Amino acid sequence: DGGITQSPKYLFRKEGQNVTLSCEQNLNHDAMYWYRQDPGQGLRLIYYSQIVNDFQKGDIAEGYSVSREKKESFPLTVTSAQKNPTAFYLCASSIWSNYGYTFGSGTRLTVV
């Protein structure tokens, strides 16, 4: 079955370390997105990509970086510059033509 795979489900890192979250989709979707969810808040857009080798900042891009070398993959790196990285991270993808959205199961990152 097609879908989005995020790994790992839980991730622990020490403060000051960079960490990369994986997102892979086999839906042949054009666009991919990274969102962050904090307790009691709505999801917020970190980065998105419409095509390979192109990506745009979202509302809270500071301290994050992404790449889109393949259509299927959109990894997110949480850098040491991100002041409050502990959060739940969701990857999503969509088709241009009908705006249908598919979400991954998320990665819960805890920085200690």
- ω into residue 85 within 30 of 0, thus cis? no
User: By CB under 8 A, is residue 61 in contact with other proteins?
Assistant: no
By CB under 8 A, is residue 101 in contact with other proteins?
A: yes
Q: What is the largest CA-CA distance in the chain?
A: 42
Is 5 a binding residue for other proteins by CB under 8 A? The answer is no
Q: Which position among 7, 26, 28, 50 is part of the footprint of other proteins (CB under 8 A)?
A: 50
**Phi and psi angles of residue 85, each rounded to the nearest 5 degrees, phi first:** -80, -15
The reply to whether 110 sits near other proteins by the rule CB under 8 A is no
Exactly one of 13, 60, 71, 106 binds other proteins (CB under 8 A); that residue is: 106
| Distance, CA of 99 to chain centre | 18
What whole-number distance in Å separates Cα of residue 97 and Cα of residue 51?
Answer: 14
| Spatial CB neighbours of 92, under 8 Å, sequence gap ≥ 6 | 4, 32, 33, 34, 35, 101, 102, 103, 104
Binding to other proteins in span 29-48, by CB under 8 A: 30-31, 33, 35, 37, 40-45, 48
- Give the total of residues touching other proteins (CB under 8 A): 30
Under the rule (CB under 8 A), what is the footprint of other proteins?
A: 30-31, 33, 35, 37, 40-45, 48-50, 56, 58, 88, 90, 94, 96, 98-106, 108
